Structure 1
Amino acid sequence: MSLFRKIFGSGNDASKEENQSEYNAPNPSSLPVDELFTFNFKKNGGKFIYCENISEVKEQFENILEENDWFESDVMCYEPKLFNLLEENKLNYNSQNKPKFLFASCENLIADEGSILFSSNQIKQNKPNELPDNIVILATTSQILETKSDGLRVIKKKYDKDYPTNITTIKYFEKVQDEDFLTYGSSAKNLYLLLLEDL
């Protein structure tokens, strides 16, 4: 049984963590990088769904579609490796209409701030505020890194000469009640993360 399943349960289980008071919350500085990401991601308002294999990814993706009534909708997706999952669910990714959600992978998951690191490979030249309000991300546990600078190093090494542009992160997944200068200009997204175990 995987570490994630032990700590957070399966995607089908009701989240016990939501019932905990803030006094029972773990000390973030003492957590391993994967647990730190999950803790900060949920604190930012993201919806986390852990999957052990591809069939669970497909099942949970269908659950998201059903929950939001997105079947047979228009979707923003720029990655051919993801088209098959959209076609299986009769989702149109070629339309010029306003899409219901973005379906993408990501470059990395950043643990210390619970954010998602994107590049032009996933979102082309769109700024975060130009993306749909709803986002579904498919990522793997091996993509979890501690800091943003770790993520930039991995991008530089991975792409060598064909370096992607428009590298950005999305950190806020629900509207912030008390806006301050740290959240100024950020656009909150309703974000689901399908995290596939690959370690």
Structure 2
Amino acid sequence: MSLFKKLFSSGPTNSEEEKEVNRISFEQNIPVDEQFIFNFKRNGGKFLYCDSITEVKEQFENILEENDWFESEAICFEPTLFSLLKENNIFFDSPKNPKFLLATCENLVSDEGSISFSSNQIKQKKPHELPINMVIIAYTSQIIAGKSEILCAIKNKYKKEYPTNITTIKYFEKAQEEDFTQYGSAAKNLYLILLEDL
């Protein structure tokens, strides 16, 4: 390709077109769980797979040890997770300087590798109001194909009294360069502990 064609070309080069076709083909031919893991890790998330509750507890302790969070403070709004914090001497009742958020989620969105939350996990807080560090516990059955399925999944799960403040977090590391697609979003240092339940 000539220099002028490269400079003034409005479309992608053949190699860029081929890469995009290969990427789309790859993403369409893999199962949603594998696609989620691929996209989640590409977004900078840290992924830990578990077969049992015992493994979940072990992985949580490993995260605490890795980050020196034992006997620190955390935010957690879900009573089902309080025992995990108590076992590790993590203070969560009105914390003043929380090191991380411990929560579950609504769904894991495969096509973009994001995680959806509602008021059941984060109350009325916006993502930028939450700690930068997050530990999320989810199940493989929560993986959905696309963002358009979030509301349907929530309606099926709750039947009545739908939660509010439905939001997604997609970026799990700060962009190396200025990236307009991340404008207005808060990058999180996120660990996902995924428990097999299918």
Q: TM-score range by the shorter chain?
A: 0.7 to 0.9
> Structure 1 30/179 Cα, relative in aligned 2: closer, same or farther at 3 Å?
farther
Alignment partner, residue 11 of structure 1: none
Alignment partner, residue 35 of structure 2: 36
Considering only aligned residues, what root-mean-square deviation do their CA atoms show, in Å?
1.3
Q: Kindly provide the amino acid, as one letter, of the partner of residue 159 in structure 1.
A: Y
- Pairs within 5 Å for 1:155-166: 155-166=154-165
Q: Deviations over 1:109-168 (max 9, x none)?
A: 000000000000000011000000000000000000001121210102222220111000
Q: Deviations over 1:32-81 (max 9, x none)?
A: 00000000000000000000101100101000000000001110000000
Separation (CA, whole Å) in 2 of partners of 1:142 and 1:103: 20
Alignment partner, residue 147 of structure 1: 146
Alignment partner, residue 110 of structure 2: 111
> In proportion to residue count, which structure has more helix?
2
The SS at the match of 1:64 is: helix
Deviation of the 1:28 alpha carbon: 2.0
Structure 1: where are the runs of 5+ without partners?
Answer: 1-24
TM-score, with structure 1 as normaliser: 0.85
The SS at the match of 1:81 is: helix
Alignment partner, residue 185 of structure 2: 186
Rg: which structure is higher? 2
Separation (CA, whole Å) in 2 of partners of 1:67 and 1:93: 20
Residue identity over aligned pairs, in percent, reads 68
Pair 1:70-2:74 in alignment: no
Separation (CA, whole Å) in 1 of partners of 2:28 and 2:176: 25
Alignment partner, residue 13 of structure 2: none
CA contact (8 A) 1:74 1:95 kept: no
TM-score, with structure 2 as normaliser: 0.85
